[in-house]
Amino acid sequence: MKQITSKKPGKQRKYRLQAPLHRRREMVSSTLSEELKKKYKRRSMSVRKGDKVRVMRGEFRGTQGDVMRVNTKEYKIYVGGITIKKSDGTEIERAIDPSNVMLVDLFLEDKKRREILERKMG
C-alpha cells in the first residue's frame, strides 16, 4: 500500500477522500484475533462480507456477528444484529468503523483470499 508521506491531517484526509477503489479496499481492514494471528502469521486483514467479527469499542462492545456488507465509499462495515432504533420506531443497521472490530473467523470460500493467506504462511 502506498504510504502517506505528509503528516498534515488535511493531506491525510484528502488522500482518504480521493483514494481509488483498490486502495479503499485495503483501508477497510481490521486486526485478527490471537488464534488467527498465530495461524496465519499476520496482524490484520481486509474485512469482507461473511467474516465473523467481535466489536471491541463503542456501545456494542463484546457483540459478535457476521459482516453483512462493506461500504468502501464511507470506510464502514455493517454487522448482523447491530441495529439502532430511530425515533419513529423503525430499526436500521448501524455502521461501524473497521478499526473498532476484531476478525474472529474468516470467510475462506474465495480461492484468491485463501491464496493471500497461504502466501505469508508458506
Give the domain range for residue 86: 29-121
Q: Would 104 be classed as within a structural domain? A: yes
Whether the CB-CB separation of 82 and 95 falls below 8 Å is answered with: no
Q: Would 93 be classed as within a structural domain? A: yes
Q: Would 21 be classed as within a structural domain? A: no
Residue 59 has pLDDT above 90, yes or no: yes
CATH code, domain carrying 56: 2.30.30.30
77 exposure class (CB count in 10 Å sphere: 0-12, 13-18, 19+): buried
Closest-CA residue to 97 (of 35, 41, 42, 31): 31
> What is the reported pLDDT for 5?
78
Q: Would 35 be classed as within a structural domain? A: yes
Residue 1 has pLDDT above 60, yes or no: no
Q: Would 114 be classed as within a structural domain? A: yes
Residue 4 has pLDDT above 80, yes or no: no
How many other C-beta atoms lie within 10 A of the C-beta of residue 35? 10
Q: How far apart are CA 91 and CA 114, in angstroms?
A: 35
The number of folded domains in the chain is 1
> What is the reported pLDDT for 52?
97
pLDDT digits (tens, 9 = 90+) for 11-43: 999 999 999 999 999 999 999 999 999 999 999
Q: Would 91 be classed as within a structural domain? A: yes
Average pLDDT over residues 73-90: 96
Query: For residue 68, what is its C-alpha cell?
Result: 453483512
Q: Would 24 be classed as within a structural domain? A: no
Q: Would 61 be classed as within a structural domain? A: yes
Q: How far apart are CA 56 and CA 31, in angstroms?
A: 11
Query: For residue 52, what is its C-alpha cell?
Result: 465473523
